[in-house]
Structure 1
Amino acid sequence: MNFFQEFHRAFLGGFTAILCEYLVPNNQVPSGVRSFFYGMTGTCAGILVILGTPLVSRLGYFHVIRYNFTWKVVGGIVMYLFIGSSNPWLIMLFILVDTTFTGGTAGFFNMPVSDICDEDMEKYDRRHPITSTVFGSNALVTKPAQSLCPMLVVSILNRYGYEEVKHGSASPAEINELESVMFQLICFFPVILGVMQYIAWSQFTIRRRILERYVPEEPI
């Protein structure tokens, strides 16, 4: 599950500018708005973590993270079937929301990992939690996503003539085909990853409210 989240973050972080270069024409979106959009994709996730902490405290991280997976699936399907690639403003909005939710909820992923450490300590009556082992294993699994994602996306783009389009040697039909593939990547990446994450997350049975356990409310 964490692997797919990191995979999604790598896709959004590494290819948003490339995809918007072709799907968001300069004559429809001013350069100033485009620059502001790129800046917001890097800051909104952090804002969401700050603003979303009370929600996690109230609902628990399990439901908040699962809502994110639901958004990926529903948002990608709605974007592809009902909105389409003809509205660059909605494409930018979708990417911004997807980037914000994906990056923001990733900040909560350490909560279930910590719960796994505590559950293991209680279950096997350990004197100390195996925190370093669990977090190390998690990093070992998720780090390859940062390399595999660019390799996969670049191979897909090159298969549909990205290099030719970039060097100006492609026909209008090839350009349209590449833009169609780019739009499908924007829509289907969240759907596919969201489905796999939702299935994997449904198997997680340690559903504690971390903030309620470790940060109890103090009377005023």
Structure 2
Amino acid sequence: MRMRFINNQNTRNRMALDKNFIYYSFCTFASNIMSSVFSFYYVYFFLDVYKVSHSCFQFAQVLFMVWNAINDPLFGWIQDHSSSKWILSRQLNILYGAPVFAVSFLFGWFPFYDVLHLDSEYWKCIHLVLTLCFWDTMFSFVLLAYCALFTEVTTDHTSRVRLTQYTRVAAICGFWAVPMVEYGYETYGNEGFYLCLFFIAIVATIFMCLTGLFTRSNVNRLDDAQIAEDPPFFSYEFLRMNLQIVFNKNFISFVTMNFLSAGMCHFAASFTKIFTEDLSLFSDSKSNKLTFFFINSVGGNLLIVLISPFIESYGSVVIVCLSFVSVFLSSVLLYFWRTFNTIIVQILILNIVPSGMFGLYNIFVSSVIDEDQVRYKRKLPLSSMIFGINALITKPAQSIFPMIAAYFLDMTKVDVVDAAGNPTKEHPQRSREAIVTLLCVLPMVTALLQLLVFCPFRMTHLSEQLRKNTAFNRDQSRTESNL
């Protein structure tokens, strides 16, 4: 009887809504509606609408990759060791960064060179570089603090899986972003497109501000900062802390897998519209195309919500490894059977499975952060630094994978011919056969590598030890202040 009472009580606890988790998840909703639209349209607009050359596109991606390598560890160190209270606070980073983040989202869709009548490749290239760097700067600043807050809001694997459910539901609530913009663009042209963009930016700003105002953390960074390690930038101690993080076996295993996952997610998100248009998948039905884009947008987050019981039962590592197997098998299937149905299934899997599993990666980083704090007896978790180093290594994949795809598609273009088989004056078009080959070979190789590098990863469950250490550090700090 007592066991039944305990089980019922646990069930009620799981069913009860956690307001703190809800406030935290608002930022997921906000960032998802902006990033999904940005990722979906920026390659299509700059290559097919603004007509940026492929050489300019590759050059911009290289500069973007370099800036990616600089800003994440820089922001990570600043947010963990700044003397300024608003920078030290994760919540204030989100609150003050939200409006600028929204502006960076809007910047890319307004080509300033058209207003100034500067119709040259040089200005288009500058616009692309500024768009990518401005967007990533604010994306890194706000979401680095947000990801670090994930570790400090939760204390164990169970609560982190539950918070992941909240964030995935919040992301699902942003399902309307891409279909709404696509409908506005297809139906009302540029006016509908820009109206939808402004609406998304305003909504995202409001919800990010709510996260910054009302989310509460288990780590009081403003009070505990006085007892935390604060090494000077580029000092020996700073270098030692970074090396301790980088040479952690679990960190190496995770970050390599995450690099490949980030690249695959951005490849799928950035080229889905291009592949859909070039392969004429839904040329006869606008409603089918919008439904297809809707499923691609919401599928990954819905997948995590549906399989959450299996994640709690079998563990995050097992589920993620199974996702790599599913991508590999679907790619093999497409390689040998290149039909309309297998192409549709492959595009759906590439958009749903990697992006869905990406929602679990904060759990793995949090595990690495817990392990690092206990192993090296740190008074405060180096959350932003570890997330920053992870981003330093993985974010270049956001440029590398689109560069590989764009280069391959550019090299395999075919001439347009008339009914008699003679070449026309039109520019060469992307080869449909090359697109399908890219759709199966790149994911196949990536999934196999992911499976090999991530199998050695081991989750650490150190929450009890962390609570003891945190309580000890706070008691010691109070004793010293009283003396």
In the superposition, relative to structure 1, how do residues 26 and 123 fare at CA in structure 2: closer, same or farther (>3 Å)?
Answer: closer
What is the alpha-carbon distance in structure 2 between the residues aligned to residue 47 and residue 128 of structure 1? 34
What is the alpha-carbon distance in structure 2 between the residues aligned to residue 196 and residue 207 of structure 1? 23
Give unmatched runs, 5+ long, in structure 2: 1-256, 417-424, 464-483
Q: Matches of residues 177-216 of structure 1 in structure 2 within 5 Å? A: 178-206=431-459
In the superposition, relative to structure 1, how do residues 207 and 122 fare at CA in structure 2: closer, same or farther (>3 Å)?
Answer: closer
- Which residue of 248, 252, 258 maps to 1:2? 258
1:127 aligned partner, one-letter code: K
- Which residue of 59, 72, 78 maps to 2:314? 59
Deviation sequence 1:3-27 (CA, Å, 0-9, x none) = 1111001111111121122334446
In structure 2, what is the equivalent of residue 127 of structure 1?
379
In the superposition, relative to structure 1, how do residues 26 and 115 fare at CA in structure 2: closer, same or farther (>3 Å)?
Answer: closer
In the superposition, relative to structure 1, how do residues 37 and 44 fare at CA in structure 2: closer, same or farther (>3 Å)?
Answer: same
What is the alpha-carbon distance in structure 1 between the residues aligned to residue 404 and residue 322 of structure 2? 27
- Which residue of 152, 155, 162 maps to 2:407? 155
What is the alpha-carbon distance in structure 1 between the residues aligned to residue 290 and residue 426 of structure 2? 25
Say whether 1:15 aligns with 2:271.
Answer: yes
1:200 aligned partner, one-letter code: V
In structure 2, what is the equivalent of residue 48 of structure 1?
303
Contact 2:282/2:288 (<8 A) preserved: no
What is the alpha-carbon distance in structure 2 between the residues aligned to residue 149 and residue 53 of structure 1? 29
Deviation at 1:100, TM superposition (A): 0.8
Of structures 1 and 2, the one scoring higher in RCO (CA 8 A, sep 6+) is: 1
Q: Matches of residues 69-108 of structure 1 in structure 2 within 5 Å? A: 69-81=324-336, 83-84=337-338, 87-108=339-360
- Which residue of 292, 299, 308 maps to 1:37? 292
In structure 1, what is the equivalent of residue 66 of structure 2?
none
Say whether 1:111 aligns with 2:374.
Answer: no
Contact 1:77/1:191 (<8 A) preserved: yes
Instruction: Kindly tell me the number of residue pairs found equivalent between the two proteins.
Output: 199
In the superposition, relative to structure 1, how do residues 118 and 207 fare at CA in structure 2: closer, same or farther (>3 Å)?
Answer: closer
Q: From the CA coordinates, give the structure whose radius of gyration is larger.
A: 2
1:184 aligned partner, one-letter code: T
Give the structure-1-normalised TM-score.
Answer: 0.81
Deviation at 1:66, TM superposition (A): 0.5
Deviation at 1:209, TM superposition (A): 11
Deviation at 1:117, TM superposition (A): 0.9
1:114 aligned partner, one-letter code: S
Q: What CA RMSD, in Å, does the superposition of the two structures yield over aligned residues?
A: 2.3
In the superposition, relative to structure 1, how do residues 25 and 129 fare at CA in structure 2: closer, same or farther (>3 Å)?
Answer: closer
Deviation at 1:94, TM superposition (A): 2.2
What is the alpha-carbon distance in structure 2 between the residues aligned to residue 76 and residue 205 of structure 1? 28
What is the alpha-carbon distance in structure 2 between the residues aligned to residue 115 and residue 22 of structure 1? 42
In structure 1, what is the equivalent of residue 49 of structure 2?
none
In the superposition, relative to structure 1, how do residues 207 and 194 fare at CA in structure 2: closer, same or farther (>3 Å)?
Answer: farther
1:67 aligned partner, one-letter code: L
In structure 2, what is the equivalent of residue 218 of structure 1?
none
Give unmatched runs, 5+ long, in structure 1: 211-220
What is the alpha-carbon distance in structure 2 between the residues aligned to residue 185 and residue 52 of structure 1? 29
Deviation at 1:207, TM superposition (A): 5.8
Deviation at 1:208, TM superposition (A): 5.2
Deviation sequence 1:25-78 (CA, Å, 0-9, x none) = 446x63321221012111111212222222211111010110111112111112
Identical columns (%) = 26
Contact 2:260/2:446 (<8 A) preserved: yes
Out of 104-113 and 137-146, give the one that drifted further. Answer: 137-146
Deviation sequence 1:145-201 (CA, Å, 0-9, x none) = 222222221111111116x56x8444xxx86xx211110111112111111111110
